[in-house]
């Protein structure tokens, strides 16, 4: 039974290991945009920061919560955190991730999901 006094909250966390990550932020921004489009997310605001010598973080404030993308190019690692107050399940998130990274050489993808509804 759903508790009507608590909003639906779904959190999907992914740790993606790639063979190579370009140090420029354009690839990560493209991947984030693909996720946003594929999952039909509504961006309210976007901020980003580039770390020196490498790495970047993109934060998207969504009408349904947030999407964060962090990179460690020197390790070939990308961390993605999506929190929504809408019905998006782990399979949908995983499918969108695989589509967004389809042009990349993926070593591994680990996904954890938590739902409160």
CATH of residue 74's domain is 3.60.90.10
> Is there a domain that residue 36 lies in?
yes
Range of the domain at 93: 9-109
More confident residue, 69 or 7: 69
**What is the structure's pLDDT at 1?**
45
- Backbone torsions φ then ψ of 110, nearest 5 degrees: -115, 130
> Is there a domain that residue 115 lies in?
no
More confident residue, 24 or 4: 24
Give me the number of domains the chain comprises. Answer: 1
User: What is the model's pTM?
Assistant: 0.87
> Is there a domain that residue 87 lies in?
yes
Which residues are the active-site residues? Answer: 65, 70, 85
> Is there a domain that residue 105 lies in?
yes
> Is there a domain that residue 4 lies in?
no
Closest CA to 43 of 65, 26, 27: 65
């Amino acid at each position: 039974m759903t508790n009507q006094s608590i909003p639906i909250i779904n959190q999907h966390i992914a740790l993606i290991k790639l063979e190579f990550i370009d140090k420029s932020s354009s690839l990560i921004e493209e991947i984030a945009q693909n996720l946003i489009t594929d999952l039909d997310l509504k961006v309210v605001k976007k901020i980003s920061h580039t770390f020196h010598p490498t790495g970047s973080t993109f934060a998207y404030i969504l009408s349904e919560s947030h999407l964060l993308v962090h990179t460690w190019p020197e390790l070939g690692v990308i961390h993605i955190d999506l929190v929504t107050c809408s019905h998006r399940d782990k399979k949908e998130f995983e499918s969108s991730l695989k589509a967004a990274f389809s042009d990349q050489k993926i070593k591994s993808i680990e996904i954890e999901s938590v739902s409160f509804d």
